[in-house]
Amino acid sequence: MTAPDAAGLRRLTRELLAAHPPATTGRTDFLKARFDAGLAWVHYPAGLGGLDAPRSLQPVVDAELAAADAPDNDPRRIGIGLGMAAPTVLAYGTDEQKRRFLRPLWVGEEVWCQLFSEPGAGSDLAALGTRAVRDGEDWVVDGQKVWTSSAHVARWAILIARTDPDVPKHRGISYFVCDMTDPGVEVRPLRQITGEAEFNEVFLTGVRIPDSHRLGPVGEGWKVAQTTLMNERVSIGGARIPREGGMIGPVARTWRERPELRTRDLHQRLLTLWVEAEVARLTGARLRQQLVAGQPGPEGSGMKLAFARLNQEISGLEVELLGDEGLLYSDWTMRRPELVDFTGRDAGYRYLRSKGNSIEGGTSEVLLNIVAERVLGLPVEPRNDKDVAWKDLSR
């Protein structure tokens, strides 16, 4: 079967809509039918939610579905699964793993989380110490993960653990899919700066993971993790937003509606940030056009940097603009939200939450290193951990 072109995809989308009219079909049923029709992510293989079509043709399907008001999956709820787990499973999974995991992931029936960071290994992720020891057909995992977003609602986790402490750190890691409902997995809320607990500590004690839930060869987990991390950056840079679609939106509205709050200094800063937000939006649009034209640029790694800084500056300005109101906060009750909510709630929340934008998914400092070394070709940092067995590294 040859992959469909734009016209073919349009026809298939219309057939899907005719067979499962959104008005009368349940949300999950519609999403399942869409997956089975290969219209979930058209560049995935046939039978796995796609049709082997060029990735650039996805907007053709999306536009048809949006026009028909069809239900969509919630990329925020399933963000880690969609943006990170799925491409990794696709690249390294066995046929059985792909069949088992991709459909419920895409439909949103199963939420995923990412068990990467540890108290002693964040930016230096490859230094991680969680152990996985082979025992018959299983691996037995012991260790502690931290800052794990959505662990309290997740069904599955992508997990990296050390399977060989006697080789240098990058070489002794393996990559697993961990069942979050297994005995030995304990999720404790970790309250954060905003007062709520969006992320967690995860304690792994004698967790048995079948070898069939390993992704990629033993000891090559770091390579597999690179696929995950690269996709994390692409999925962050790829979001499409309308003008004033991000954090600049609420502050611009407040400015228009409440002239009594305006000052000259805030006006200058608002305009500067408005322009920068608009330019960031255009840069994202250009990045997507490059992807569609089959010339992906390295801009993706830059977009996260830009948005982190902008979100922080804009939300900071917003709190100031609100004056007396900016002194208040809506609610410090500890909640465990299902969704990560960057722009919701009030200005104080946005200000505090945006502080995480330059830490989560790789800190801005680490991303700057990556841009400098991989995009600009500047010399790499001198290293003293390359040829040392993990167990001999200082901690």
Partner 1 sequence: MTARTEESQPPDLLYSQAEEDLRAAVRSLLDDRCDVPEVIARTESDAPYDPQLWKALATGIGAAGLLVPEKLGGQGAGHREAAVVIEELGRSVVPAPYLTSSVVATETLLALGTQDGPAAELLTELATGRKVAVLAVPFSAAGPDTVAVTAALDGTLGPVADAVAADVLLVPTTDGLYAVEAGTAGVVVEPLIALDLTRPLATVTLTGASGTRLADAGTARAAVRRGLLAGAGLLASEQLGLAEWCLTETVRYTRERHQFNRPVGSFQSLKHRMAHLWLEVVSARAAARNAADALATGSPETPLAVAVAQAYCSRVAVHAAEECVQLHGGIGMTWEHPAHLYLKRAKADSIAYGSAGRHRETVAELMELPAP
Query: Which residues are identified as catalytic?
Result: 232
Rounded-to-10 torsion of CA 330, 333, 336, 339: 0
* C-alpha separations of 390 from 95, 159, 162, 170, 384 in Å: 33, 18, 9, 8, 12
Q: Which does 73 bind (CB under 5 to 8 A by kind): partner 1, ligand FAD, none?
A: partner 1
Is the separation of the CB atoms in 1 and 15 below 8 Å? Answer: no
Give the closest residue to 8 by CA, choosing from 45, 57, 55: 57
Among 230, 366, 370, 372, which residue interacts with ligand FAD (rule: CB under 6 A)? 366
Which of 201, 187, 210, 207 is closest to 131 using CA atoms? 207
DSSP label of 390:
G
Residue of 76, 235, 77, 232 lying closest to 158 (CA atoms)? 232
At which residue do the structure tokens 């069939």 appear?
212
Least CB distance from residue 95 to partner 1, whole Å? 22
**Of these partners, partner 1, ligand FAD, none, which one is at the site of residue 199 (CB under 5 to 8 Å by kind)?**
ligand FAD
To partner 1, the closest distance from the beta carbon of 79 in angstroms equals 11
Region near ligand FAD per CB under 6 A, out of 182-190, 202-210, 216-224, 364-372: 364-372
Binding mask 319-358 for ligand FAD (x = CB under 6 A): -------------------------------------x--
Query: If phi over 0 gives left and psi between -120 and 50 gives alpha, with beta otherwise, what is residue 296?
Result: beta
Q: Which is nearer to partner 1, 43 or 223 (CB)?
A: 43
Q: What, of ligand FAD, partner 1, none, does residue 362 touch, CB below 5 to 8 Å by kind?
A: ligand FAD
The answer to whether 192 and 169 are in contact (CB under 8 A) is: no
123 binds ligand FAD (CB under 6 A): yes
Q: Considering beta carbons, is residue 121 or 248 the nearer one to ligand FAD?
A: 121
Question: Is residue 363 within the footprint of ligand FAD (CB under 6 A)?
Answer: yes
Residue appearing with tokens 């200000």:
351
360 lies in the site for ligand FAD, by CB under 6 A: yes
DSSP string, 310-370: HHHHHHHHHHHHTGGGGG--S-------SS--SS-S-HHHHHHHGGGGGTTTS-HHHHHHH
Q: Which residue is nearest to ligand FAD (CB)?
A: 122
Q: How many residues lie near ligand FAD (CB under 6 A)?
A: 18
End-to-end CA distance of the chain: 54
Site string for ligand FAD, 193-232 (x = CB under 6 A): ------x---------------------------------
String of DSSP letters for 109-159: SS-EEEE--BTTBSTTGGG---EEEEETTEEEEEEEEEEEETTTT-SEEEE
3-class SS at 160?
A: strand
When CB distances are held under 5 to 8 angstroms depending on the partner's kind, the choice from partner 1, ligand FAD, none that residue 330 binds is none
- CB 336, min distance to partner 1, A: 25
Judged by CB under 6 A, does residue 117 bind ligand FAD? yes
147 binds, among ligand FAD, partner 1, none (CB under 5 to 8 A by kind): ligand FAD
Query: Is residue 362 involved in binding ligand FAD (CB under 6 A)?
Result: yes
CA distance 200 to 339: 14
Q: Are the C-beta atoms of 276 and 251 separated by less than 8 Å?
A: no
Q: Return the range that interacts with ligand FAD (CB under 6 A); candidates 2-10, 96-104, 111-119, 210-218.
A: 111-119
Residue 11 binding result from partner 1, ligand FAD, none, given CB thresholds of 5 to 8 Å by partner type: none
73 binds ligand FAD per the rule CB under 6 A: no
Give the one entry of partner 1, ligand FAD, none that residue 149 binds, where binding means its C-beta sits below a cut-off of 5 to 8 angstroms depending on kind: ligand FAD
Contacts with ligand FAD, residue ranges (CB under 6 A) = 113-114, 116-117, 122-123, 147-149, 199, 356, 359-360, 362-363, 365-366, 369
